[in-house]
Chain A
């Protein structure tokens, strides 16, 4: 009896049920479309940054020769005689500070990563990892402030300079900014090396140190290189630390003890004072574009390396 009524009920509601299913399918695809559009927005932001930078930078080249812009040594947009728009010294300054930073951060970063992955027991790791994250969490403006008050006097005394605001100071601070990136990605890639490699090496009588240096680090090398490149990308694009700690002299840099002005610092210094929609204003966006392209390439190369290495692991 009951079975009959139930089946009759089913028969009666079947079209409704179908209709509901249809509505639900529409709702489901609408929801999917919403999430998809949020994902696509990420792509649009990146493309948007590029397009807006290009379109704002282009008017600068109505007055400036593009080649002179990249290869000119003098940057003096407010000169009363002839405005000069050469950013070579800034590009070199950016690279000088970054290379100095890598000189410090690469060995230390790989060292810490190797220590965490190969030497430390889990308890130490559990403590050190958050500590590295704390280091990553210190705002760059605070690091720059400490560069002024902690390192500048030391550097000034060590090298007999009137002040310690120069490329060395900037390199030191950039190394600190890049370290967390280098440490965490290098450690990840060391941990991703198959255990069989280390076991084979140890079974052949190699010590843990030999295994680390001759087997595990070479096996993880692509990931480590990617880590270094990502750290470099961070250092090139870093603004506040170099703005505060490198002295910002416009002169062409000759060494690590010179005061330098990086691309990022120059934008930060001049964008606040420049009248809108002048060649100088557009030129600052052109510097931003150069910066964007450099970091984009560095990151893309790092990404390709990391990807290749991930695929090999699979």
Chain B
């Protein structure tokens, strides 16, 4: 009897050790990634690198146009994906009844989030660049990324709406408010911070995407800033791709590529971090 128990305990210890090993491996890879990029990228991170355009066929100089390009395209993305996402989420959580249409919307939503990003790129080329004649531009790329981000913003906004207690809605309705009045005054204000969290996470992912913007507006090399929405632009992720694989002197521009990767990581993870902090604060608030 005692032998049996012992065997079981050994199996458990071994099993749990294996599980810890899995987690350790994942953490190790993540830390290795971040460590390598920070160690080798920090050297190129100068003021000039952040504020000057590339020079000499991108083998010297900075990445300012790429930073600005990513910033601008993300704004276009947000302008499309955030209001639309929130509106669709309001429909799904506040208005929709259990119907075939609702099921279809949800199904489309989940499937849309699984569509490969390069397919979104192809779609952007056909719809925005060719049919709507926006050309390869910030507008086309931003709208393409907006559609890519849409399922994430809808899901996140709906999650935030779900977390608003039903008594908030009922309270307003009982006082004679209409449905929209109750949503506007009693639901949205409480859901907004949560929506913000999810939206930031979605936009951070969009800012790091490369495949959808490759053919819809990102430029290989532009030493100046775009002047209008119809201009091409440089973007951080695409710039990193160029510096890592397409440059004529890849080995000599490695430090610049590392620097670009570091800035991109800092941008994306910074946005992630902000979202996580907001969520953490919210949770603590709701616990009290």
Contact = CB atoms under 8 A, between A and B. Distances in A.
Contacts of A45: 108, 112, 147, 150
Interface stretch (B59-67, B91-99, B221-229): B91-99
B21 A111 contact: yes
B123 A49 contact: yes
Nearest to A24: B178
B268 A53 contact: no
Interface string B93-112: 01110000100110111111
Interface string B1-43: 0000000110110011011111101110110110011000000
Contacts of A233: 114
A111 B105 contact: no
B contact face: mostly helix, strand, loop, or mixed: helix
Q: How large is the interface on A (under 10, 10 to 19, 20 to 34, 35 or more residues)?
A: 35 or more
Contacts of A298: 114
Interface string A233-273: 11011111001100000000000000000001001100110
A49 B179 contact: no
Nearest to B31: A131
A145 B122 contact: no
A215 B66 CA distance: 52
A314 B245 CA distance: 51
Interface residues of B, number: 84
Nearest to B7: A207
A132 B8 CA distance: 31
Interface string A83-114: 00000000000000000000000011101101
A119 B15 CA distance: 10
Contacts of B105: 39-40, 42-43
Contact of B211 (A236, A264, A292): A264
A240 B211 contact: yes
Nearest to B208: A139
Interface in A281-306: 284-285, 288, 291-292, 295-296, 298-300, 303
A46 B106 CA distance: 12
B71 to A, nearest CB: 15
A38 B150 CA distance: 11
A267 B122 contact: yes
A43 B108 contact: yes
Interface string A64-96: 000000000000000000000000000000000
A285 B264 contact: no
A135 B26 contact: yes
A179 interface: yes
B89 to A, nearest CB: 9
Interface of A: 24, 27-28, 31-32, 34-36, 38-43, 45-49, 52-53, 56, 107-109, 111-112, 114-116, 118-119, 128, 130-135, 137-146, 148-150, 176, 179, 183, 207-210, 212-213, 230, 233-234, 236-240, 243-244, 264, 267-268, 271-272, 284-285, 288, 291-292, 295-296, 298-300, 303
